[in-house]
Amino acid sequence: MTDTGTDTPIGMTQKATDKTPARTAPPVTENASIRAKAGYRPEVQGLRALAVLMVVTYHVWLGRVSGGVDIFLLISAFLMTLSFTRKVESGKPLRLLRHWLHLLKRLLPAVVVVVLGVLVGVWAVLPQSRWPDVLDQAWAALLYRQNWLLADSAVDYYAQDHAGASPLQHFWSLSIQGQVFVLWPLVFAGAAVLCKLLRRWGTVNGRIGRAVNHGLLGYRAIVAVAFGAIFLASLAYSIEQTGSNQAYAYFDTRTRLWEFALGSLLALALPYLKPGKMLRLALGWAGLAAMLSCGLLLTVDRSFPGFIALWPTLAAAAIIAAGQSGSRFGVDRFLTWKPLVSLGDNSYALYLWHWPLLVLALAGTGTASPNLVQGLGIVAASIGLAVLTTRFVEKPLRDWHWPERRAWRTAVVIVACGALLAGPVSVWQSKLMAEEAAAAAQPKELTPGAAALAPENAGKPTPDAKIIPAPAAMKNEWADIDGLCTGANVPNDPLLQGCLQNSRPDAVTKRIVVLGDSHAQQYMAALGPIARSHGWEVVTLLKGSCRFGGESPARDDACNAFNKASAQYVLDHRPDAVFTVASLTHKDAPFETEVPGYLEGIKPFTDAGIEVVGIRDNPRFNVNMPECVQKNGPDDPQCNAPLQESLAASSPLDAYRGQVPGLHLMDMSDFICAGGSCPAVVGNVYVYKDDNHLTKTYVQTMIPMFEQRLLAATGWNNRM
C-alpha cells in the first residue's frame, strides 16, 4: 500500500488519576455522577477528542493519515493497566470472562449499528462489483479480524481496489484493539499468579521475601518487566517489518503491540512521576505541539508503525504525564474545555461514522475529494450520527443492568447484537452467490465475448443475456497460474521468489518465460490453455506496475532491479521464447507509447537465440469500466471510450519491426476495440475488471484468435 487512508480511534471513556487507577470501561460517555467523583481525568478525554478531530480533518480535507490511531492505542492500554493494577493490588478478583463479556457488550452495539447503516449506503451508492468485498469486511469487523483481512490484501498488488476505498476498512484498528483486549488481561492475570507464587516462596526463602516486600518482585515490577519485554520485542519487529514489508506491517497486530505496551508502562510509572509545575507546563504544551505536527511533518502512511510512531505516542505520553498542571496556562486547561470533553465522550461513534460517510459521499457525487463546504457537511453529519448513536445505543445498553447480573445474560445480548448483523450479511451473500451461479450457467452462445468481433460475426447482434462474469465474481478475474516454480525453474535470486509456472507437461515441446507486470499476466488466461494443448511449459516472472525493458530512469529502482534479475534468469535458463507486453498505455494523452528501453531489454535474449513475443498493450481509462456499466448501463458513452483516446493512432509496435531479429509482434486490439470505440462490454462479457485490466473471462473468449495470431507471428505451427 500503499495508503489505504484510515485511523480508528477507540474512544474509551474512563476515569483515572496519577495514583488511583480507574475501572476499565469501553468507549462510552460517563455520566455526571462519575465525573463528580475524584479521580476523573477530563484532560485525557479532551486529548481523545483532539485526536479524533485530527483524524477526521486529515481524512476529509488532507487525504492523509494523522498518526492519531497510535495515540488511541496508547490511551486504551494506559487506562486498562490502571484498572487491572488497582484490582490486583486491592485484592479484587479479575473475573476475566465477565470482563470480556462486559466489554464486548458495550463495544459491539455501535459496531452493529454503524455497519448496518453502511450496508444500506453501499446498496444505494456503490456498484455491485464492490459489494462482495464490503460484505467480507462486515464479517471481519464483527469478528474483530479486519486488520488481518486488510494485511493479506495490502501486499497483493492484484487485490488493490484502485477505484475507491472501502467504507469499512477503518475497522482495522478496532480489530487490533479487540485482540489486545483479550491478550492484555491474560498478562495481568499471569503476573498476578506469578506474584502469589513468589510471595509463597518468600516465606521459605528470605531473599525472595525481602525482594517482594521491597517491591522488587511485586506486582507492578512483574507487570513492568512483561510489558517492557513486549515493548522491546514488538518495536524491534515493527522497525524491521516496516522497512521490509510496510504494507503488511501497517495492519499487523504484532507491529502495534509496543504502542499498547508503552501506554501500560506509562500507567505503571505514573505514580512515581512527580514533575514540578513548570515541567508540567512544558511537557503538556510540547506534547500537544508534537501531536498536532506529526501528520503534517511526517509521511506517516508510508513509515508507520516503525520507530517514527514514537513521535505521536511519546507526545501523548508527555501530555498524560503532565496531568493537572494547577496553572491557568497549562495545556490541561485547554483539554478540559467542556465542548472538547463532550466531543471526547462521542469520539468512538464519531470515528465509526466519519469514514463511511466520507467514502459514500465521494462515491455518490463522483468527486475525488470534498471541498470546504462538502467537508463541513460530512463532519457535521458524522457528529450528528455520533451523538445519536451514543445517546440512543451506547448509553441505554451501558445503563441496562439486567445483563450484568449473570454472565449468560451478557452473552445473550452479545449474540443477539451479532445476529442483527450476521443475518442480513448472510442473506445478501447468498443472493449474490445465486446470481453468480445463474450468470455462469448460461449457454456459451449467449456470451460469445471477443468472438462477437470476429469478421464473420461483424454486424450480427449479440443475444440478450446476463453480462458475465457476475459482479460478485469480478474479484476472481485474474488469470490463473498453477503454482510456484519447482525443480530447475526455481530462481536463485530472492527478488524472483514469486516465480510461478503452469503444470509441467509430460513431454515439454517448448519452454516459455513470461516477463513483465499484471498486463502480461492477464494474457496467461489465453497462453496457459494454449500451452497445455501444445505441451509447452510456461514460467512467469511478474511484478506489479513493472513493465519489462532495459534499465531506465522512467522506472523506480525496485523495478529496474527486478527486470535485471528477470533478464539474468532468462539468460541462465535459456528458454525457447520470452513473452512480453511491448507497448505501454496511459490514462491520459499520450494514450500509448513505447516501453522505455524495450529493445535494449530484449536484445540480449535474441542475441542468445531466444525468441521474443511482444504483444500490444490494452487501453487504460479514467473510470472503472465494470462499475460504469453497473451504474449507467453498457451503452452509456462513458463506458465506451473513443478509440483515439485509448490507443495510439499508429501502434508503437510498428517502430520495432525489423529492429531486432527474433522479435515477433502481436496485436489483439481489434478484439478489444472496434467500431471506433473501446467498450466495457463485448458479446455480453465484461472486457475489463477495473480501469485497465482485462478480465480472465474475456481473455478466454479470445483463445482461438490469440492462438492463431501467436502461431502466425512466430511460425511455430510450422516447426512443431
Kindly tell me if the per-residue pLDDT of 11 is higher than 70: no
Which grid coordinates are listed for 458? Answer: 461483424
In percent, the amount of the chain with pLDDT more than 90 equals: 67
Mean pLDDT of 399-427: 90
Quote the CA–CA distance of 222 and 19 in Å, as a whole number.
Answer: 18
For β-strands 577-581 and 611-615, DSSP reports them as parallel
Cis amide bond preceding 575, omega within 30 = no
pLDDT in tens, 449-483: 999 999 888 778 888 999 999 999 998 999 999 99
- Bond prior to 461 in cis (omega within 30° of 0): no
**Among residues 351, 402, 373, which one has the least CA distance to residue 114?**
351
Q: d(Cα 380, Cα 354) in Å, to the nearest integer?
A: 9
- CA–CA gap between residue 250 and residue 4 (Å, rounded): 10
Question: Does 595 score more than 60 pLDDT?
Answer: yes
Mean pLDDT over 369-396 rounds to: 93
The three cell numbers of residue 674 are 472496434
In the predicted model, what is the mean pLDDT of residues 393-409?
A: 85
- Ranking 259-268, 299-308, 539-548 by mean pLDDT, the lowest is 299-308
Cα 6 to Cα 364: distance, rounded to the nearest angstrom: 20
The answer to whether residue 505 scores a pLDDT higher than 90 is: no
Residue 7 has pLDDT above 50, yes or no: no
Residue spans of beta strands (DSSP E) within 249-299: none
Q: How far apart are the C-alpha atoms of 188 and 206, rounded to whole Å?
A: 26
Confidence of residue 398 (pLDDT cuts 50, 70, 90): confident
- Whether the upstream peptide bond of residue 469 has omega within 30° of 0, thus cis, is yes
> 323-354: per-residue pLDDT in tens?
887 788 888 888 888 888 888 889 999 999 99
Q: What are phi and psi of 546, to 5 degrees?
A: -135, 85
- What does the H/E/C string look like for 643-676? HHHCCCCCCHHHHHCCCCCCEEEECCHHHCCECC
Residue 299 has pLDDT above 80, yes or no: no
Give the pLDDT confidence score for residue 577 in this predicted structure.
97
Q: What is the pLDDT of residues 30-42, one digit of tens each?
A: 333 334 344 457 7
How high is the pLDDT of residue 91?
Answer: 86
Q: What's the grid cell of residue 453? A: 468481433
pLDDT band, very low/low/confident/very high, at 201 (cuts 50, 70, 90) = low
Q: Supply the DSSP symbol for 162.
A: T
Contact assessment for residue 78 and residue 267, using Cβ atoms and an 8 Å cutoff: yes
Q: Give the model's confidence band at 580: pLDDT under 50 very low, under 70 low, under 90 confident, else very high.
A: very high
**pLDDT at residue 22, rounded to an integer:** 31
Please tell me the class of the 449-460+477-718 domain. alpha beta
Indicate the average pLDDT of the chain.
88
What's the Cα-to-Cα distance from 345 to each of 26, 44, 338, rounded to whole Å?
Answer: 11, 11, 11
Which comes out higher in pLDDT, residue 19 or 391?
A: 391
Are 138 and 425 contacting, i.e. CB atoms less than 8 angstroms apart?
yes
Residue 21, pLDDT above cutoff 50? no
Question: pLDDT tens digits, residue range 82-112?
Answer: 999 999 988 888 889 999 998 999 899 999 9
Q: Is the pLDDT of residue 216 over 80?
A: no
Q: How confident is the model over 677-703, as pLDDT tens digits?
A: 999 999 999 999 999 999 999 999 999
Question: Which pLDDT score is estimated for 23?
Answer: 29
Angle formed by the axes of helices 172-202 and 131-142, nearest 10°: 20
Q: How far apart are the C-alpha atoms of 361 and 367, rounded to whole Å?
A: 8
For residue 9, is pLDDT > 60? no
* For residue 585, pLDDT beyond 50: yes
Average pLDDT over residues 559-587: 97
Rounded Cα–Cα distance for residues 322 and 344 (Å): 19
pLDDT in tens, 40-55: 577 788 888 888 998 8
- Measured at the CA of 482, the angle between CA 710 and CA 521, to 5 degrees, comes to 45
**Is the pLDDT reported for residue 19 higher than 80?**
no
Q: How many CB atoms lie within 10 A of CB 124?
A: 9
What is the percentage of the chain residues whose pLDDT exceeds 70? 90
Q: How far apart are CA 331 and CA 42, in angstroms?
A: 12
Range from 89-98, 256-265, 493-502, 686-695 carrying the lowest mean pLDDT: 89-98
**SS3 call for 698:** helix
pLDDT of residue 210: 59
The mean pLDDT of 170-189, rounded to a whole number, is 95
Confidence (pLDDT) at 709: 96
Instruction: Indicate the pLDDT class of residue 446, thresholds 50, 70 and 90.
Output: very high
What's the mean pLDDT in 220-233? 95
Residue 540 phi/psi, 5-degree rounding, is: -120, 135
What grid cell was written down for 2?
500503499
What is the pLDDT confidence band of residue 155, given thresholds at 50, 70 and 90?
A: low
pLDDT band at 4 (very low <50, low <70, confident <90, very high): very low
Q: What cell was used for 515?
A: 516477463
Domain boundaries, given as residue ranges, for the chain: 32-422, 449-460+477-718
**Three-state DSSP class for residue 557:** helix
Nearest to 11 by CA among 59, 56, 66, 73: 73
Amino acid at the residue 101: L
Cα–Cα distances in angstroms (integers) from residue 491 to residues 494, 496, 551, 568, in the given order: 7, 6, 20, 10
Question: How do 681-682 and 685-686 pair as beta strands?
Answer: antiparallel
Q: Which among 293-307, 456-470, 554-568 has the top mean pLDDT?
A: 554-568
The pLDDT assigned to 164 comes to 74
DSSP label at 272?
G
